[in-house]
Amino acid sequence: MAEIRPIFKARISSIEGHSARVIPLVGGDVVTRPLPLLWTMRDGMCPLAVGDLVVCARFEDGDGIVLCRADGEWSRRVPYDVTVEGSLTVTEDATAAGVSVSTHTHAGVHGETSGPH
């Protein structure tokens, strides 16, 4: 059996809330204790299923963390409130409460409609 390196690939064995047990690819069939999922992998931001290939970090004391999916995929959604301190640039469209920023118009006091802004 090969030594498990500090950064290693593994397959998800089970998912338990914000933790997962994994089977390192070089560690035989040994299942780890529950390892926390990095926050970017929680709550649907990075869909995981048993058998998925992930990248993990192992520390000297035996603890570790699941860092990411090995294929780099994520859901492209953030299910949390987000605060941006600074500017935000949107290169295409943004939608707020179902209203598109690029196609939203306003009616004027005399019934005319302004263009998107």
Report CA-CA distances (Å) from 92 to 23, 45, 80.
Answer: 41, 22, 22
**Mean pLDDT score, 107-116:** 68
Non-local CB neighbours of 58 within 8 Å, separated by 6+ positions:
4, 5, 6, 7, 8, 64
Report pTM: 0.72
pLDDT of residue 112: 65
Structural domain boundaries of the chain?
7-69
pLDDT band at 29 (very low <50, low <70, confident <90, very high): confident
Tell me the CATH number for domain 7-69. 2.40.50.140
Helix (H, G, I), strand (E, B) or coil at 41: helix
The residues that bridge with 111 in the sheet, in sequence order, are none
89: CB partners within 8 A, 6+ apart:
none
pLDDT tens track for 48-107: 999 999 999 999 888 999 999 999 998 888 888 889 899 988 888 888 888 888 887 777
* Under 8 Å between Cβ of 8 and 25: yes
Q: Are 26 and 4 in contact (CB under 8 A)?
A: yes
Mean pLDDT confidence for 42-48: 89
